[in-house]
Amino acid sequence: MSDSATPVPTTQFLAEGLHDWVLADRWLHARFATPDFVTGLALVVAIGDAAETANHHPDVMLRYGHVEVHLRSHDVGDLTTRDLRLAHRITELAAEHGAEAKPSAVTLQLLALDAADLEAVGRFWSAVYTGSPDNVDGNDVVDPDTHEILLWLQATQPHSEPPQRFHVDLWVAPEVAPDRIAAILAAGGTLVSEDESPSFTVLADPEGNKVCICTCLERQP
């Protein structure tokens, strides 16, 4: 495996100074606000040219008012130095086009399901989401075309059916997490656990339904 195809640790991403980007679940995510649709389209074309030059292709979404970019090495199934290099280049292109990075607006929501038999439950939900039981990658049920995570399975011990087996993981930039947690608490939420903070903090709504506010900090790799 070449150096460019070797997964990189979170510490390396943090040392890169990629402040426009949010590392969430081993993907790089960015949102660039654009003054008009034409500017956004031009930025998408420029990103496409850079991707062809690098022979490394991100997921790009054009919306009125912003462009979203998601980066990961699909052949490795992880974040690599190729992603870091291309992220730097895309940041340069965004600045050249007058697009403003909005890392505080980036979130990644994952639906998580507790399961003791990960293989059996994963195949079931893969069939539900994709029509085939075979679109499971590790603990993730994935879209076979976009590689988007549709559901992730969290290993648990066998137990009787509890009131709640699903919970939401919401990934945000590390600097956003404290304010987001404060807003949740002010809205009537309850702090369940901050034992794993800043990696994730568990909160519950007034009826006990849980959400984990997740960041890339203090995670392996």
Q: What phi and psi, each to the nearest 5 degrees, are found at residue 201?
A: -125, 130
pTM of the model: 0.87
Please state the φ and ψ torsions of residue 176, each to the nearest 5 degrees. -85, -30
- Residue 107: phi and psi, rounded to 5, are -135, 155
Of 84, 105, 126, the residue at which a domain comes to its end is 105
pLDDT score at 103: 97
| pLDDT computed for residue 201 by the predictor | 97
Rounded mean pLDDT, 160-184: 88
Does 43 have pLDDT greater than 80? yes
Measured in whole angstroms, the distance separating CA 45 from the mean position of its chain's CA atoms is: 23
Domain identity same for 98 and 149? no
Q: Are residues 92 and 169 in the same domain?
A: no
CATH of the domain at 55: 3.30.1360.20
Confidence of residue 60 (pLDDT cuts 50, 70, 90): very high
Return left, alpha or beta for 25; rule: phi > 0 is left, psi -120 to 50 is alpha, else beta: left
pLDDT digits (tens, 9 = 90+) for 199-208: 999 999 887 8
Tell me the pLDDT band of 3, cut-offs 50, 70 and 90. low
Q: What is the mean pLDDT of residues 151-167?
A: 81
Q: Are 88 and 117 members of one domain?
A: no
Q: In terms of residue numbers, what domain contains 18?
A: 3-105
Query: How far, in Å, CA of 124 to CA of 108, rounded?
Result: 24
- pLDDT confidence bin for 211, thresholds 50/70/90: very high
Looking at the structure of the chain, the number of domains it has is 2
